[in-house]
């Protein structure tokens, strides 16, 4: 261990990331999982707190974290293995979603990662637990993560899951890693299940989103937004023609997703799908700049220039009364002092705490970022 | 007070069994290993499960959950002295949300009963293990069960939105729920596939899907098993996602046909059952593409089910595959491994070679579209040394799959059967991480001890920490 520590201390010098200095902090970019684990091992021994950075596009999520050290995945950013015939790909966490999707498109495949801001990395998306609008049809991102390799808070390289499309072999470590926001360690390598891109797709403006959801057979997405309601379809030309025939309006070819919501305050309201229509009316009363409601999924993303503390509180209480939550994705400070981005911790907080403690016994990985300050 | 007496106070004498005959009934699941529970109880509510867990833990007994006992990996085998919780009485459908397309159900609900209860609302629960007439939702959750229709829809984990469970210290927690993305770790995702080692599931929130307006089911007949397997690979590589893509080899076809009389060609080297679902337009196109690929690979015959009855008959054949074995030999050993789909043909050959080497009677039924093998050896356990030979050969088949980049289990789980093979696919550090998860849920290892993780999986803390 001592030799590893010495070597790692040397790495600290060598691995300074050229790609940018994060508010003047010490930024390092390991080039292998062993290096990442070595860094965490040293950090744990020295009591240095660590933040992980991918593309930095989701860094507003969770409780604010101050860290002594920033570890980036910028050097773990290649496509390690892509087997089009298996519809699986293994990639470095630092690979950007855009780059991955552009490559996969060569074989008409997709990882169905969220339609997100440019620069977002695969590791960042996974660790933030983000799913895209196609979730209605294709399920959340977590269902397509087959295998994850992490460098843990105790300085080990750990792989969970299997590189096959179906497995019941040991615990679902990848499912634990997805959405863990770097609180257990660094996600370095991931294996994803891919899908074929549809031959044709269409975006159809609809008057009544809930009606479209119940009438159309398995649309890709049904969105109600500040700019109108849309039903998204994919399949073959014949299929689309038949499906759009059932809707009042004609579609435009392609999936025209809403522009990303980019305002100082960004909320994710998560409710049972049946409660989306009611959530939409409540959200509208709060005078947001823009919003997108995912029917059938239960996520309403809302952007505000400003939002009064008490109105935010009312929205949150309402969501909680429907067994949901309101998560502040960006701008908790703009709502008010001491606004908790997560709200009340889940009933399983004791188990959550023990998980955190066993993967990050020294409490150095993104300390406090999760609900309940884990 | 002795735990049996406490449990009788809790549940009444008729739901607490300690008699050797009762204990024998529950000593095994459908795999080969057996155990011996000290007490078998049949709780009827979450509160009763929680109270029973507390009683068992206080008495220092291992606690094992059991659904229908159809598991094949020994997951529900009760160690000596254990308290076995049989959850089949908890089989209610508590509530169905037709708009949100979800339902809360009891863990003891039989899989098929759920889909049948929902049929008239146009909804279904996608995972359809071949055991769906008897296996329970709780067992499906615990093993992350698969089924023919998991090819397009994903295994059980993709259909479980939340669980209520009793923890090792007898508390009740809810993980996940109707609202997506509950803040915090996705503990729901850990419970699925945890084989009763992290908590006892007492209610399950399942995701339901729309029944398709159109279904096209084809039986594709081949004279060569390689071209059948190649057809599967080609269909997947073409980016088609049939709802199901199942394969049976000649010995299996013969066994099924003799048993179920569904009209399968017993001289064929292999058959594929391919099903596409969706709108009429979509299924027509996809079925056409599959037919074309099959033709290109030299399929001898392609039959399309013209009616629901014909479709049901085709599936009856497939779903009776295991049941049909009983008539040909007293015992069978069914294994479960997965390989990357591009390696399917190659591993198939190795599996046949192993059976031939050991002089065993091998039949195969595969979830071919997923690369999921179910090599099945039928034998007579009363022949001396036979069981060992069969297990040895199955072990070699697992090794062949792992060597091709596959893994130990696609859907049956690890249980006792493959616990000691976990090192084949995981490093000591990987297993240590899994042991940490287990310890976080169940620090005293009260729940289903000895399953999934091999002894000594938790590495000792590092010196100096
Ligand atoms: C003929 C046949 C065909 C089969 N076909 C398939 C198939 O196509 N696909 C497939 O995946 N499997 C198949 N299986 C295997 C088996 O049916 C599945 O593993 C099924 O999910 C087990 O359900 P069960 O209710 O019988 O569970 P059990 O066998 O009773 O238990 C299985 C495991 O789950 C745990 N468990 C059960 N209930 C709970 C609970 N409420 N909380 C926590 N843990 C619990 C047990 O402790 C055990 O570890 C087949 C088995 C047979 C005999």
Fold of A265-330: Alpha-Beta Plaits (3.30.70)
Question: To test ligand 1's pocket by mutation, which of B78, B86, B143 has the most ligand atoms within 8 angstroms of CB?
Answer: B143
The region, left, alpha or beta by phi > 0 then psi within -120 to 50, assigned to residue A157 is beta
Partner-chain contact B281 A346, CB within 8 Å? no
Partner-chain contact B282 A142, CB within 8 Å? no
How do residues A191-228 score in pLDDT, each as one tens digit? 999 999 998 999 999 999 999 998 888 899 999 999 99
Structure tokens at B171: 């508390």
- Other C-beta atoms within 10 Å of B415: how many? 28
Contacts of B154 in chain A (CB under 8 A): 139, 143
Q: How far apart are the first and last CA of chain A?
A: 28
Contacts of A163 in chain B (CB under 8 A): 340, 405, 407
Contacts of B280 in chain A (CB under 8 A): 242
Q: Does the pLDDT at position A96 exceed 60?
A: yes
Residue B174 Cα, ligand 1 centroid: separation in angstroms? Answer: 22
Partner-chain contact B186 A154, CB within 8 Å? no
Residue B397 near residue B260, CB atoms below 8 Å: no
Contacts of A158 in chain B (CB under 8 A): 429-430, 432-433
Distance CA B278, CA B243 (A): 9
Q: Which residue of B has its CA nearest to A275?
A: B100
User: Residues 6 or more apart from A2 whose CB is under 8 A from it?
Assistant: none
Average confidence (pLDDT) over A89-111: 96
Residue A199 near residue B240, CB atoms below 8 Å: no
Strands (E), B87-129: 93-97, 102-105, 123-124
pLDDT of residue B238: 87
Average confidence (pLDDT) over B419-423: 97
Strands A50-53 and A69-72: parallel
Residue holding tokens 């300690």? B18
pLDDT of residue A24: 45
Ligand 1: which atom is nearest the Cα of residue B155? 11
Of A169, A178, A179, the CB nearest to B414: A169
Q: Does the pLDDT at position A117 exceed 90?
A: no
Distance CA B160, CA B144 (A): 10
pLDDT of residue B320: 80
Would you list the domain boundaries of chain B? 3-86, 93-210, 214-319, 329-403
Q: Does the pLDDT at position B328 exceed 90?
A: no
Q: Which residue of B has its CA nearest to A156?
A: B429
- Quote the distance between the C-alpha of residue A138 and its chain's center: 15
Structure tokens at B55: 């009683």
Partner-chain contact B179 A175, CB within 8 Å? no
Distance CA A265, CA A273 (A): 23
How do residues B131-165 score in pLDDT, each as one tens digit? 999 999 999 999 999 999 999 999 999 999 999 99
Handedness of CA B156, B162, B163, B168 (dihedral sign): positive
Partner-chain contact A239 B430, CB within 8 Å? no
**For residue A242, what pLDDT band results from cuts at 50, 70 and 90?**
confident
Of B184, B342, B463, the CB nearest to A86: B342
How do residues B223-247 score in pLDDT, each as one tens digit? 999 999 999 989 988 888 899 999 9
Partner-chain contact B158 A158, CB within 8 Å? no
Domain B329-403 has CATH 3.30.70.2740: yes
> Which CATH class for the A79-196 domain?
alpha beta
Distance CA A78, CA A60 (A): 26
**For residue B464, what pLDDT band results from cuts at 50, 70 and 90?**
very low
Q: How far apart are the first and last CA of chain B?
A: 42
**For residue B169, what pLDDT band results from cuts at 50, 70 and 90?**
very high
Which residue has a Cα nearest atom 18 of ligand 1?
Answer: B71
Residue B393 near residue B359, CB atoms below 8 Å: no
High-pLDDT (> 70) share of chain B, %? 99
pLDDT of residue B155: 96
**For residue B465, what pLDDT band results from cuts at 50, 70 and 90?**
very low
Task: Name the nearest CA neighbour of A294 among A204, A220, A201, A198.
Answer: A220
Q: Does the pLDDT at position A19 exceed 50?
A: no
- The region of weakest confidence among B233-242, B263-272, B290-299 is B233-242
Task: Name the nearest CA neighbour of A91 among A105, A110, A76.
Answer: A76
Contacts of B71 in chain A (CB under 8 A): none
Ligand 1: which atom is nearest the Cα of residue B165? 42
Partner-chain contact B430 A323, CB within 8 Å? no
Domains B93-210 and B329-403 share a fold: no
ipTM over 0.85? The verdict is: yes
Distance CA B446, CA A175 (A): 24
Residue B86 Cα, ligand 1 centroid: separation in angstroms? Answer: 13
Residue A351 near residue B440, CB atoms below 8 Å: yes
List the CATH code of the domain at B93-210: 3.30.465.10
Residue holding tokens 């937004």? A225
Contacts of A171 in chain B (CB under 8 A): 190, 193-194, 198, 434, 437-438, 452
How do residues B5-41 score in pLDDT, each as one tens digit? 999 999 999 999 999 999 999 999 999 899 999 999 9
Distance CA B125, CA B310 (A): 22
**Which of 3.30.43.10, 3.10.20.90, 1.10.8.60, 3.40.50.300 would CATH assign to domain B3-86?**
3.30.43.10
Handedness of CA B83, B88, B90, B95 (dihedral sign): positive
Distance from CA of B429 to the nearest CA of A (A): 6
Partner-chain contact A238 B285, CB within 8 Å? yes
Residue A339 near residue A309, CB atoms below 8 Å: yes
Q: Report the C-alpha dihedral over residues A74, A76, A77, A78, rounded to 10 degrees.
A: 150
How do residues A322-343 score in pLDDT, each as one tens digit? 999 999 999 999 999 889 999 9
How do residues B184-218 score in pLDDT, each as one tens digit? 999 999 999 999 999 999 999 999 998 999 999 99
Beta bridge partners of A203: A232, A252
**For residue A8, what pLDDT band results from cuts at 50, 70 and 90?**
low
What DSSP element (H or E) covers A213? helix A209-215
Strands A200-206 and A185-193: unpaired
User: Residues 6 or more apart from B358 whose CB is under 8 A from it?
Assistant: B389, B392, B393
Task: Name the nearest CA neighbour of B348 among B372, B325, B370, B324.
Answer: B372
How do residues B433-462 score in pLDDT, each as one tens digit? 999 999 999 999 999 999 999 999 999 754
Q: Which residue of A has its CA nearest to B236?
A: A85
Of A238, A327, A347, the CB nearest to B174: A347
pLDDT of residue A32: 97
Distance CA B355, CA B375 (A): 10
Contacts of B433 in chain A (CB under 8 A): 152, 156, 158, 160, 173, 359
Best residue of B139, B180, B201, B413 to probe chain A, by most A CBs closer than 10 Å: B180
Best residue of B129, B179, B195 to probe chain A, by most A CBs closer than 10 Å: B179
pLDDT of residue B440: 97
Partner-chain contact A355 B411, CB within 8 Å? no
Q: Does the pLDDT at position A234 exceed 70?
A: yes
Partner-chain contact B178 A272, CB within 8 Å? yes
Report which of residues B238 and A366 the model is more confident about.
A366
Q: Which residue of B has its CA nearest to A353?
A: B440
- Quote the distance between the C-alpha of residue A207 and its chain's center: 30
Handedness of CA A102, A108, A113, A114 (dihedral sign): positive
List the CATH code of the domain at B214-319: 3.30.70.2190
Residue A11 Cα, ligand 1 centroid: separation in angstroms? Answer: 49
Of A139, A152, A168, the CB nearest to B433: A152
Beta bridge partners of B96: B103
Q: Does the pLDDT at position A111 exceed 90?
A: yes
Residue B61 near residue B52, CB atoms below 8 Å: no
Beta bridge partners of A229: A206, A224
Distance CA B239, CA B225 (A): 22
Domain A2-74+357-373 has CATH 3.30.1180: no
Task: Name the nearest CA neighbour of B160 among B201, B113, B217, B108.
Answer: B201
Q: Does the pLDDT at position A248 exceed 80?
A: no
Residue B64 near residue B82, CB atoms below 8 Å: yes
Distance CA A209, CA A231 (A): 7
Contacts of A209 in chain B (CB under 8 A): none
pLDDT of residue A342: 97
Would you list the domain boundaries of chain A? 2-74+357-373, 79-196, 198-260, 265-330
How do residues A249-280 score in pLDDT, each as one tens digit? 778 999 999 999 989 999 999 999 999 999 99
**For residue A10, what pLDDT band results from cuts at 50, 70 and 90?**
low
How do residues A34-43 score in pLDDT, each as one tens digit? 999 999 999 9
- Other C-beta atoms within 10 Å of A73: how many? 26
* Three-class DSSP category at B205: strand
Q: Report the C-alpha dihedral over residues B205, A163, A140, A223, rounded to 10 degrees.
A: -140
Which residue has a Cα nearest atom 36 of ligand 1?
Answer: B139
Q: Does the pLDDT at position B362 exceed 90?
A: yes
Q: CB within 6 Å of ligand 1 — which residues?
A: B 29-30, 64-72, 75-76, 87, 107, 129-131, 135-136, 138-140, 142-143, 145-147, 195-196, 200-201, 322, 411-412, 415, 448
């Amino acid at each position: 261990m001592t030799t590893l520590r010495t070597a790692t201390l040397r790495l600290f010098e060598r691995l300074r990331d050229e790609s940018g200095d994060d508010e003047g902090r010490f930024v390092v970019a390991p080039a292998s999982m062993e290096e990442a684990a070595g860094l965490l091992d040293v950090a744990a021994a020295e009591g240095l707190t660590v933040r992980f950075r991918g593309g930095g596009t989701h860094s507003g999520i969770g409780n604010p974290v101050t860290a002594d050290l920033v570890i980036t995945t910028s050097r773990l950013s290649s496509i390690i293995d892509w087997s089009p015939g298996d519809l699986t790909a293994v990639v470095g966490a630092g690979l950007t979603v855009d780059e991955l999707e552009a490559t996969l498109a060569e074989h008409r495949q997709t990882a169905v990662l969220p339609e997100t801001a440019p620069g977002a990395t695969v590791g960042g998306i996974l660790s933030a637990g983000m799913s895209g609008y196609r979730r209605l049809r294709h399920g959340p991102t977590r269902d397509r993560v087959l295998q994850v390799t992490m460098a843990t808070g105790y300085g080990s390289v750990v792989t969970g899951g299997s590189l096959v499309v179906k497995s019941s072999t040991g615990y679902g470590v990848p499912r634990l890693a997805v959405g863990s926001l770097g609180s257990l360690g660094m996600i370095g390598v991931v294996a994803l299940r891919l899908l074929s891109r549809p031959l044709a797709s269409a975006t159809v403006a609809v008057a009544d989103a809930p009606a479209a959801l119940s009438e159309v057979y398995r649309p890709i997405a049904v969105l109600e937004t500040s700019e109108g309601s849309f039903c998204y379809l994919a399949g073959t030309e014949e299929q689309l023609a038949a499906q759009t025939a059932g809707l009042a309006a004609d579609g435009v070819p392609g999936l025209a997703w809403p522009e990303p919501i980019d305002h100082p305050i960004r909320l994710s309201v998560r409710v049972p799908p049946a409660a989306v229509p009611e959530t939409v009316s409540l959200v509208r009363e709060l005078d947001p700049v823009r919003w997108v409601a995912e029917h059938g999924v239960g996520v309403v993303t809302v952007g505000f220039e400003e939002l009064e503390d008490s109105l935010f509180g009312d929205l949150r209480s309402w969501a909680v009364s429907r067994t949901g939550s309101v998560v502040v994705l960006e701008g908790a400070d703009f709502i008010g002092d001491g606004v908790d981005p997560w709200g009340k911790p889940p009933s399983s907080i004791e188990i959550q705490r023990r998980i955190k403690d066993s993967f990050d016994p020294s409490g150095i990985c993104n300390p406090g970022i999760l609900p309940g300050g884990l | 007070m002795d735990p049996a007496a406490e449990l009788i106070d809790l549940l009444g004498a008729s739901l607490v069994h300690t008699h050797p005959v009762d204990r024998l009934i529950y000593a095994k699941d459908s795999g080969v290993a057996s155990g011996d529970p000290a007490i078998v109880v049949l709780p009827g509510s979450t509160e009763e499960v929680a109270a029973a867990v507390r009683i068992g833990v206080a008495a220092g007994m291992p606690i094992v959950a059991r659904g229908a006992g159809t598991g094949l990996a020994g997951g529900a085998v009760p160690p000596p002295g254990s308290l076995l919780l049989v959850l089949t009485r908890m089989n209610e459908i508590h509530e169905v949300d037709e708009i949100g397309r979800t339902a809360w159900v009891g863990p003891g609900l039989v899989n098929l009963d759920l889909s049948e209860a929902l049929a008239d609302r146009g909804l279904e629960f996608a995972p359809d293990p071949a055991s769906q007439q008897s296996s329970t939702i709780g067992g499906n959750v615990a093993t992350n069960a698969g089924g023919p229709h998991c090819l397009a829809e994903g295994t059980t984990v993709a259909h479980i939105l939340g669980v209520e469970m009793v923890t090792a210290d007898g508390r009740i927690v809810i993980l996940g729920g109707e609202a997506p993305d509950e803040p915090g770790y996705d503990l729901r995702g850990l419970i699925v596939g945890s084989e009763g080692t992290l908590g006892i599931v007492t209610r399950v929130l399942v995701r339901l899907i729309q029944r398709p307006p159109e279904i096209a089911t084809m039986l594709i007949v081949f004279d060569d098993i390689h071209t059948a397997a190649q057809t599967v690979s080609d269909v997947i590589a073409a980016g088609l996602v049939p709802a199901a893509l199942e394969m049976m080899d000649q010995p299996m076809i013969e066994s099924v046909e003799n048993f179920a009389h569904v009209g399968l060609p017993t001289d064929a080297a292999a058959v594929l059952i391919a099903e596409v679902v969706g709108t009429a337009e979509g299924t027509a196109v996809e079925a056409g593409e599959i037919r074309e690929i099959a033709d290109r690979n030299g399929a001898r015959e392609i039959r399309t089910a013209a009616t629901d009855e014909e479709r049901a008959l085709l599936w009856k054949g497939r779903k009776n595959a295991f049941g049909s074995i009983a008539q040909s030999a007293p015992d069978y050993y069914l294994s479960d491994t997965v390989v990357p789909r591009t390696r399917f043909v190659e591993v198939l050959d190795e599996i046949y070679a192993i059976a031939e080497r050991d002089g065993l009677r091998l039949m195969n039924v595969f979830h071919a579209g997923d690369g999921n093998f179910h090599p099945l050896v039928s034998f007579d356990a009363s022949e001396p040394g036979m069981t060992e030979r069969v297990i040895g050969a199955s072990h070699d088949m697992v090794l062949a799959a792992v060597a091709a980049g596959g893994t130990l289990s696609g859907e049956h789980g690890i249980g006792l059967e493959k616990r000691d093979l976990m090192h084949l696919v995981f490093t000591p550090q990987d297993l240590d991480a899994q042991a940490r998860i287990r310890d976080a849920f169940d620090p005293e290892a009260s729940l289903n001890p000895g399953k999934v993780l091999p002894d000594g999986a938790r590495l000792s803390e590092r010196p100096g920490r």
